[in-house]
Structure 1
């Protein structure tokens, strides 16, 4: 089972993991990644980050990424929750959680999904810093992380 949600409200990690494993005795591993807002980026203090997206298109894009992960690894479930709107430092931005019979598949799929989310999902991020507002571009390290999956 896969779940993809884009929402303004926060999420409860424990509840989301419990829902991912609920009723499936075949689950031997759940790997989760939670991304949070940092208070510093590129040498400037960050007071707030605002995430924008295109409703409908964004969810479809994320669902395609999850489908690609499911085609590569025998996942039992996947859950992606991405927040939008204004967020403060230390707030949760994104959850990626994958369940599988074994940890290797769950780890690989979780990493794959987050690498694709960082570069391929249609989100736009704007930071409010002491130097003013600025749009955040993908990092070269995010592109490099994505490239490793093409080689496999």
Structure 2
């Protein structure tokens, strides 16, 4: 069941982080702090440059998992609002992948909530990620640091 205090979206197309943040901010004028994190496809120069990034997911698990994460985040911190947007499909350098924003009366709750949600999305996610370089496609697994980040919660 979706969490009514959170906007959670799984998108197969691009989105405008600026428009999303403007809408989110306008919806939470009571918040004393709004914290956001934008993850985007890196533009890496040189021989290992990423030409494309692809995220695949299992539809029956992904959105419900994201909604459960949102509910857990809202239960843990006093938030006025929470936004989680995640892309899937093929993306190019500079394309946004994920946007997490938390609005709270006090900044520490907003910072902690956004950090918690991103740590869980990064390591406990319902996505399979691969990147294409000049050498071809290769699958990417969460790094040990990603798991350590999540474990601190």
| Shared fold per TM-score greater than 0.5 | yes
Of the candidates 113, 123, 146, which is equivalent to residue 109 of structure 1? 113
Provide the residue aligned with 2:31 in structure 1: 27
Provide the residue aligned with 2:140 in structure 1: 136
Of the candidates 59, 62, 70, which is equivalent to residue 58 of structure 1? 62
The alpha carbon displacement at 1:44 in A equals 2.2
Provide the residue aligned with 1:89 in structure 2: 93
Q: Give the Cα separation in 1 of the matches to 2:71 and 2:84.
A: 12
Of the candidates 97, 117, 123, which is equivalent to residue 119 of structure 1? 123
Q: Deviations over 1:58-95 (max 9, x none)?
A: 01101111111111100111011101111011111000
Could you say what secondary structure the match of 2:128 adopts?
strand
The alpha carbon displacement at 1:18 in A equals 2.7
TM-score where L is the length of structure 2? 0.90
Structure 2 gaps of 5+ residues are: none
Aligned pair 1:39/2:43, yes or no? yes
For the 8 Å contact 2:70–2:82, the answer to whether it is kept is: yes
TM-score where L is the length of structure 1? 0.90
Instruction: Return closer, same or farther for 1:8/1:23 CA change in 2, 3 Å cut-off.
Output: closer
> Number of matched residues?
148
Q: Give the Cα separation in 2 of the matches to 1:104 and 1:79.
A: 17
Q: Deviations over 1:12-36 (max 9, x none)?
A: 2232223223354421111000001
Instruction: Return closer, same or farther for 1:21/1:125 CA change in 2, 3 Å cut-off.
Output: same
Aligned pair 1:76/2:80, yes or no? yes
